[in-house]
Chain A
Amino acid sequence: MENNLVLEMPSPTVKNGEWSMQIRNLKIAFDTPKGEFVAVKNINLNVKQGEIISIIGHSGCGKSTILNAIGGFIKPAKGEVLLSGQPVKGPGPDRGFVFQHYSLLPWFSVYKNIFEAVDSVLKKVSKEEKKQIVERYINAVGLASHKHKLPSEISGGMKQRVAIARAFAINPKYLLLDEPFGALDALTKSSMHIELLKLWNMDNRSKTILMVTHDIEEAIFLSDRIVVMTNGPAATIREIVEVNLQRPRNKKEIAHEPEYIRTRDHLISLLMDKVSILDYKK
């Protein structure tokens, strides 16, 4: 689908093939009564425009922390995040954020939740156009018949659809998804993966997507590359795994491909030192 939104941002200077996002020597630490707590350190990552990257690791390994730093919600202790060559100074509308807990405003309908975000970001667009944008994204995630409902009246999967539609509707260059499907059941999760890729295709795969997850199969199905973290605290990147599977990928067929099985086994061995209860005997 054509996308003719105009965004007010510093004009992107990245040509095709150049890095759209660079994370350089990133270290994030928090002050605690017991002294400095290092969440992550030595993070280096370069991302091309239109790539889908997953960050995977055990809980407490600082995956969300990295995403929050890219989002501009926390300041790094060392190093920097560059977006199109510009260092991140705070949150901005060039990044669409999908929060772990949906973060919809409970007093607004589905429609209003998306509209307020669009209204806030696209300042120069007429009200009529804003309405059209909101309608388009509500339709894209299949919530047309629920648009006047409050978040408390829809299911978790629907709430996450609204959150994703809201993030896409402001037409950001980057999408940052913080364990977006973690709270959903397996069936809903699968349909949400398709939903996400549909929206990504809608914009000619031009948006760069960074997603935090702890689901190996989800990471393989969606990503071009998977960043595997070591265990926290003071976690860092253990390995970056390429996923060499053709797009569009088919959920049913992909599972039988040798490349899929190889990648999955590799990820499992990276994430779990002990893969069977038999290993615990000694």
Chain B
Amino acid sequence: MKPATSLSHTLKGHTIIRVAIAYKLLAERKLSKIFGTKFVRLLKAMLAMTHQGVQSSLLALVGFLLLCVVWHLISWFTKEELPGPVATLKVLTQMLSNPFYDNGPNDKGIAIQLWYSMIRVFTGFGIGTLIAIPLGILIGSQPIIKKILYPIVNVLKPVSPLAWFPIGLAAFKSAPNATIFIIYITSLWPTLINTAFGVASIPQDHKNVARAFGFSRYKYLTKILIPYTLPHIITGLRLSIGVAWLVIVAGEMLSGGTGIGFFVWDSWNALSLEKVISAILIIGIIGLLFDKLFTSLEKLFAYGK
């Protein structure tokens, strides 16, 4: 490090650098005069942020390039039994260039398959949420109910979604509905547990306010319990949607017919690993987007904590 500092020292002493710094200061002062100091400070902060953003995206790019190199090497060693990045990219662009075509039951565009999957994910996730939040509030606020229900939760939570599939089939006599059922029953738990935890951790101070000022049950629910628990609930929802998106692929592989899971299985049967890998990439990116969406919601509802 020493040579660098001494170098920058000599540079700072240099006339040209001095002039440049003087000009920079002058420009900043002029900008401050025109737009106000606050604006300039904001501009500087934004510049620093974009600088950081650019840096981390560049590093992420480096990571993906490394992955591509490894992928290419594996493909080369296996004599292209695993399709390489270039071949996959060709198929992926083909898939994305015509995503809405529909040539009958076994041949639909990727966007249509994704649409079917999304509907199932959000139906299952939605039903799960509608049950998980009230149940979580009940478990979190009533220790007796927690003692009764928590053992059941702990037994059912680790069960694989695939094990639920026959139960779904038996109950609904329809494979697509069984898929929705397994999404519902596996994505239920994170929301339920987080809601219960949030409600159970409401500070005594807040409860005392409600008691001292005689809040009605409804007022307590809407003005204290839900606002306090909301960040916990959203964290639960983020984890739940992640689970739902994991389960959908497995579910549709079993149920067949439509959806991204079926697409993966169908591509494998058609011996197109390029399509399978493309689907994996798409599934990953959509999962990431779900996560980002709920993360930003979490930030939105974190009151000055």
Residues of A within 8 A of B (CB): 71-73, 90-93, 95-97, 99, 101, 103, 105-108, 116-117, 119-121, 150-153, 166, 170
Contact = CB atoms under 8 A, between A and B. Distances in A.
A106 B209 CA distance: 12
A153 to B, nearest CB: 7
Interface residues of B, number: 18
A152 B304 contact: yes
Contact of A150 (B215, B228, B303): B303
Interface string B209-249: 10111111001000110011000000000000000000000
Contacts of B214: 91-93, 120-121
Given A105-B206, A105-B209, 7 more contacts: A91-B212, A99-B209, A105-B223, A106-B304, A117-B209, A150-B303, A152-B304
Interface in B282-304: 303-304
A73 B208 contact: yes
B213 A121 contact: yes
Interface of B: 205-206, 208-209, 211-216, 219, 223-224, 227-228, 303-305
Contacts of A95: 212
Contacts of A166: 213
A150 B305 CA distance: 12
Nearest to B305: A106
A253 B84 CA distance: 90
Contacts of B215: 116, 120
A107 B222 CA distance: 12
In the A-B complex, the 9 residue pairs with the smallest Cβ-Cβ separation, listed nearest first, are A152-B304, A117-B213, A97-B212, A107-B227, A91-B211, A103-B205, A107-B303, A120-B213, A93-B214
Given A103-B208, A121-B214, A150 B304 contact: yes
A166 B210 CA distance: 13
Given A99-B208, A150-B304, A93 B224 contact: no
Contacts of B228: 107
19 contacts: A73-B208, A97-B208, A99-B205, A99-B208, A99-B212, A103-B205, A103-B209, A105-B206, A105-B224, A106-B303, A107-B228, A116-B213, A116-B223, A117-B209, A121-B213, A121-B214, A150-B303, A152-B304, A170-B213
B303 A116 contact: no
A129 to B, nearest CB: 17
A89 B122 CA distance: 49
Contacts of A73: 208, 211-212
B232 to A, nearest CB: 14
Contacts of B206: 103, 105
A152 B208 contact: no
Nearest to A101: B205
Contacts of A103: 205-206, 208-209
A118 to B, nearest CB: 9
Contacts of A91: 211-212, 214
Nearest to B228: A107
Contacts of B303: 106-107, 150, 152
A232 to B, nearest CB: 21
A105 B205 CA distance: 9
Contacts of B213: 93, 116-117, 120-121, 166, 170
Nearest to B210: A120
Nearest to B301: A107
A152 B305 CA distance: 8
A71 B304 contact: no
Contacts of B224: 105
B80 to A, nearest CB: 58
Given A105-B223, A107-B227, A152-B304, A71 B212 contact: yes
Given A101-B205, A107-B227, A153 B304 contact: yes
Nearest to A112: B223
Contacts of A99: 205, 208-209, 212
Nearest to B215: A120
Nearest to A150: B304
Contacts of A71: 212
A110 to B, nearest CB: 13
Contacts of A116: 213, 215, 219, 223
Contacts of A90: 211
